[in-house]
């Protein structure tokens, strides 16, 4: 069964600190892996999209990594800001579908001043 | 604002009533998606349109749910005979044609069934 699992479920860190969120998936074969940020009460916003052949992609203070051999991805946030408080969702695009993505449940990140 | 627009933002209705939501995608996007999201979970795929054609519908989707995109622009999602379990956030997204394109989401319609 195609699944995407994220850890931790929730995380609290102090403003200015770095953090890393984890994503493990069983989707195979897969075409791409995405990270989305979702603020409370808002729709998700795309942070990064990596194809299966890419190892890393950055978007400002956000850096995503991908290890297709171990089926793991991580999202690293550098120098966290209060506005980073949100849910971060890992999403995998199966090879056999351009649109039916497999979504994780997300990691809820809280940044404290 | 040229992002994805959804209306209404909130809908409260009694069990058994019908509801309809509207989504206006980014104008140049030919792909449109509907999702449902409950608290603490990621979005769950409901259905997908390419232009006006509905190409995929989740097997988990009840027959009470129907979606249309009559002219390949805006879309509507209707739920008939609503049930308590239908309470959720309904999200719409759009994307351009092509593999690996990001989906751009609206801020959703929150449905509460009394």
pLDDT tens digits, B10-43 = 999 999 999 999 999 999 999 999 999 999 899 9
What is the per-residue pLDDT for B100? 79
CB of A4 closer than 8 Å to CB of A23: yes
Of B56, B106, B107, the CB nearest to A99: B56
What is the per-residue pLDDT for B43? 94
Q: How far is A99 from chain B (nearest CA, A)?
A: 7
What is the per-residue pLDDT for A33? 94
How does DSSP classify residue B86? G
Of A77, A88, A13, give the one whose Cα is nearest residue A44.
A88
Is the predicted pLDDT of residue B81 greater than 60, yes or no? yes
For chain B, what percent of residues have pLDDT higher than 70? 99
How far apart are the C-alpha atoms of A2 and B11, rounded to whole Å? 33
Q: How far is A2 from chain B (nearest CA, A)?
A: 13
Who contacts A63 (Cβ-Cβ below 8 Å, separation ≥6)?
A56, A57, A75, A76, A78
Burial class (CB in 10 A: 0-12, 13-18, 19+), A30: buried
Is the predicted pLDDT of residue B7 greater than 80, yes or no? yes
Phi, psi of A84 (to 5 degrees): -80, -10
How does DSSP classify residue B85? G
Query: Mutate which of B29, B30, B43, B57 to disrupt the A interface (most A C-beta within 10 Å)?
Result: B43
Question: Chain B partners of A91 at a C-beta cutoff of 8 Å?
Answer: 42
* Res. B1 pLDDT band, cuts 50 70 90: low
Average pLDDT over residues B83-104: 92
Say yes or no: B91 contacts chain A, CB-CB below 8 A: yes
A49 contacts B99? CB cut-off 8 A: no
What is the per-residue pLDDT for B92? 98
For chain B, what percent of residues have pLDDT higher than 90? 81
**Per-block average pLDDT, block size 10, for chain A (113 residues)?**
92 98 92 95 95 94 96 97 98 81 95 97
């Amino acid at each position: 069964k195609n699944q995407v699992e994220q850890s931790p479920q929730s995380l609290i860190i102090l403003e200015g600190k770095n953090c890393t969120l984890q994503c493990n998936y069983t989707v195979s074969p897969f075409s791409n892996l995405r990270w989305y940020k979702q603020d409370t009460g808002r729709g998700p916003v795309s942070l990064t999209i990596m194809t299966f052949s890419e190892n890393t992609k950055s978007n400002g203070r956000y850096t995503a990594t991908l290890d297709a051999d171990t089926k793991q991805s991580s999202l690293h946030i550098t120098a966290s800001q209060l506005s980073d408080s949100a849910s971060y969702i890992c999403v995998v695009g199966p090879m056999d579908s351009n649109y039916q993505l497999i979504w994780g449940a997300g990691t809820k990140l809280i940044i404290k001043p | 604002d040229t992002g994805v627009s959804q209306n209404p933002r909130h809908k409260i209705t009694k069990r058994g009533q019908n509801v309809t939501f509207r989504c206006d995608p980014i104008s140049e996007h030919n792909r449109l998606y509907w999702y449902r999201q409950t608290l603490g979970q990621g979005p769950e795929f409901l259905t997908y349109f390419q232009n006006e054609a509905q190409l995929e519908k989740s097997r988990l989707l009840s027959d009470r749910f129907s979606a249309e995109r009559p002219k390949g622009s805006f879309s509507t999602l209707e739920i008939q005979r609503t049930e308590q379990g239908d309470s959720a956030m309904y999200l719409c997204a759009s994307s351009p044609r092509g593999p690996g394109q990001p989906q751009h989401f609206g801020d959703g319609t929150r449905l509460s069934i009394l």
